[in-house]
Amino acid sequence: MCLGELLPEGVEQLVLAFCARKEQLSGPILELGMGTGKVALQIFLMLRVDVLGLELAPSRYALAAAALHKLAQTSERFQVQDRGDEASELLDRQHNVRCEFRCASLLDTPEDMMQKASAVVMEVCLPLEVQRQASKRLQSCRRGCRVVSYSALHGLVEDCRLAPVDASGTDRLGDGRGGICLAASWKPMGHGFAFYEMAGTAADAAVAWVEAEKTRCEGAIQIDVTGCPSRARRLRYTDEVLADPVLSQYPWKAGDRILVGYSWLPFPDLGDPDDGSAGGLDGVTWMPAFVVSVFDDNFVNVCYEDDGTVEERVHPDRIRVPGKPRKVRTDQAANAVT
Ligand SMILES: C[S@@+](CC[C@H](N)C(=O)[O-])C[C@H]1O[C@@H](n2cnc3c(N)ncnc32)[C@H](O)[C@@H]1O
C-alpha cells in the first residue's frame, strides 16, 4: 500500500458520487496522479467506462502497467497493448471500453481528454503552483464534469468554473459546499476532499458558491490538507546551513534518478551515500527519487520512488547521483557535483 491512497470503499463512495446525477455518465474518467492504478482500475471495472490514468513516477507507472497485464491474463474478455515504455492500454472486449495508463505529468493531460471527461480524480498532494496550473487545465472540462481533489482548487485562477456539487436530496454528494468525505488509507473514517462540478460559466459558479454558503453550514466538510502523509513535511532538512546554490552547477535534469539525503542534524555537508553512515542515529538517509523540475536558482522539485510523494524546492546539496561520487570543491560551491 502506498502511504496515501483511497481505500476500495472510498472508491465505491466516489463512484456513487460520480453517478448520482440525472444524466448517465458519458465520457472518460481521468485519474491524474494514479499511483499504482488501483483506483483507476476499480473505477474501470465498476463503471465500465473509458478511463485514463496518468502517473509521474516511472516505478509506480510500471506497477500500474503490470496490473493491466495481469488482468489480461485472467480472461479473454481483456486484451492488453503496450505503447512503448510510457503507455499501456487494456481493452474490455465485452463492454468495448478502454483503460489507458500513461507515465506522464498530470499537467500533460491531453486537452481533448480534458474536454471529454465526465469526471476527474486528483488524489494527489501538489505544490501550490502546480495546483494553480492544474486548476487552469481543469477549466477546459465541460459543464457537468465532476472533480474530486485532495486540495481545494477553486478560485486559484481567473474565471474559475469549479462549483460546489448540489447535494440536495441525497447524502451521496458530500456537503453541498464543495466537500466530500471518502475513506482513505490515512483516515479510514473519511478524509475531507474537495468535490466540484464544472459550471457553464464562471458567473454561474460564483452564484453556486453563494447559494451553497446560504444553505447548509452544520456538517460542512473540512478540506483537510494536513492528514495525507507527505515526505516533504516529515523529512524537512534544515537547509539553512547549506550554501546558496545559485552560482553552482549540477549535472541533473528533469527525469533523472537521484538520491536525496536527509539528516536529523544540520550537517553542512551530508557526505556521500556510500560513506557507511546511512541509518545511523546521527547518520544520513539517502532516498531514491527522480527530478521533477529544476528552478533557475538550482533548487529542485523531486518525487520519491517509494511512495510517490513530491518534495518541493529541495536544496541541491542534498542531492547525489547514484554511483557517481562528487568532486568536492573548496570554493563557494563546495558541495556541487561536477
Ligand atoms: C497519494 S498518491 C495517490 C495514488 C492513487 N490516487 C490512490 O489513491 O491510490 C499520488 C500520486 O500522484 C503522483 N503524482 C504527483 N505529482 C504528479 C504529477 N504532477 N503528475 C502525475 N502524477 C503525480 C505521485 O507520484 C503519486 O503516485
142 CA distance to ligand 1 middle (Å): 23
**CATH classification at residue 244:** 2.30.30
According to DSSP, the residues that pair with 99 across neighbouring strands are 51, 90
Q: Does residue 124's CB lie within 6 angstroms of at least one atom of ligand 1?
A: yes
- For a ligand 1 pocket test, name from 5, 32, 34, 131 the mutation site with the most ligand atoms within 8 angstroms of its C-beta: 34
Residue 326 maps to a domain: no
**CATH classification at residue 150:** 3.40.50.150
H/E stretch holding 257 reads strand 257-262
The residue segments making up the domain with residue 160 are: 8-215
Residue 288 maps to a domain: yes
Are the CB atoms for 179 and 222 separated by under 8 Å? yes
Residue 316 maps to a domain: yes
Residue 223 maps to a domain: no
Claim to verify: residue 184 and residue 285 sit in the same structural domain: no
Claim to verify: residue 264 and residue 312 sit in the same structural domain: yes
Residue 303 CA, chain-centre distance (Å), reads: 10
Claim to verify: residue 199 and residue 252 sit in the same structural domain: no
Claim to verify: residue 251 and residue 175 sit in the same structural domain: no
- Last residue of a domain, which of 215, 243, 263? 215
Claim to verify: residue 110 and residue 249 sit in the same structural domain: no
- pLDDT score of 2: 46
Claim to verify: residue 162 and residue 308 sit in the same structural domain: no
Residue 18 maps to a domain: yes
| ipTM here | 0.98
Measured by CA distance, the residue closest to atom 19 of ligand 1 is 105
Mean pLDDT by 10 residues, the chain (338 residues): 77 95 89 95 97 91 96 96 92 97 94 97 84 94 96 93 89 88 88 95 96 77 58 61 86 93 75 65 76 92 78 88 72 45
Q: Distance between CA atoms of 239 and 314, rounded to whole angstroms? A: 8
Dihedral of CA atoms 278, 284, 286, 292 in degrees, nearest 10, equals 180
Measured by CA distance, the residue closest to atom 12 of ligand 1 is 33
Q: Does residue 232's CB lie within 6 angstroms of at least one atom of ligand 1?
A: no
22 CA distance to ligand 1 middle (Å): 31
- pLDDT score of 231: 57
Matching residue, cell 550554501: 243
Number of domains in the chain: 2
- pLDDT score of 331: 47
**Half-sphere exposure in the Cβ direction for 199 (13 Å, CA):** 19
Residue 201 maps to a domain: yes
Q: Does residue 6's CB lie within 6 angstroms of at least one atom of ligand 1?
A: yes
Claim to verify: residue 25 and residue 171 sit in the same structural domain: yes
- pLDDT score of 118: 97
Residue 163 maps to a domain: yes
According to DSSP, the residues that pair with 167 across neighbouring strands are none
Residue 196 gets the label, from left (phi > 0), alpha (psi -120 to 50) or beta, of beta
214 CA distance to ligand 1 middle (Å): 34
Claim to verify: residue 265 and residue 168 sit in the same structural domain: no
By C-alpha distance, which of 233, 226, 240 is closest to 311? Answer: 233
Q: Is the dihedral of CA 35, 38, 41, 42 positive or negative?
A: negative
Q: Does residue 33's CB lie within 6 angstroms of at least one atom of ligand 1?
A: yes
Measured by CA distance, the residue closest to atom 24 of ligand 1 is 308
- pLDDT score of 269: 80
Q: Distance between CA atoms of 338 and 336, rounded to whole angstroms? A: 6
Q: Give all strands (DSSP E) within 39-143, no chain letters.
A: 51-55, 78-83, 87-92, 97-103, 119-122
Claim to verify: residue 200 and residue 250 sit in the same structural domain: no
Q: Does residue 160's CB lie within 6 angstroms of at least one atom of ligand 1?
A: no
Q: Distance between CA atoms of 213 and 208, rounded to whole angstroms? A: 9
- pLDDT score of 337: 46
198 CA distance to ligand 1 middle (Å): 22
Measured by CA distance, the residue closest to atom 15 of ligand 1 is 33
Claim to verify: residue 44 and residue 188 sit in the same structural domain: yes
For the packed helices 8-19 and 38-47, what is the interaxial angle rounded to 10 degrees? 50
For the stretch 277-300, pLDDT in tens is: 544 445 678 888 999 899 999 999
Claim to verify: residue 29 and residue 153 sit in the same structural domain: yes
Distances in whole angstroms, Cα of residue 268 to Cα of each of 241, 271, 289: 5, 9, 21
1 CA distance to ligand 1 middle (Å): 13
Claim to verify: residue 56 and residue 202 sit in the same structural domain: yes
Q: Cβ neighbours of residue 102 under 8 Å, at least 6 residues apart?
A: 52, 53, 54, 55, 61, 86, 87
Q: Does residue 4's CB lie within 6 angstroms of at least one atom of ligand 1?
A: yes
Q: Does residue 34's CB lie within 6 angstroms of at least one atom of ligand 1?
A: yes
Residue 269 maps to a domain: yes
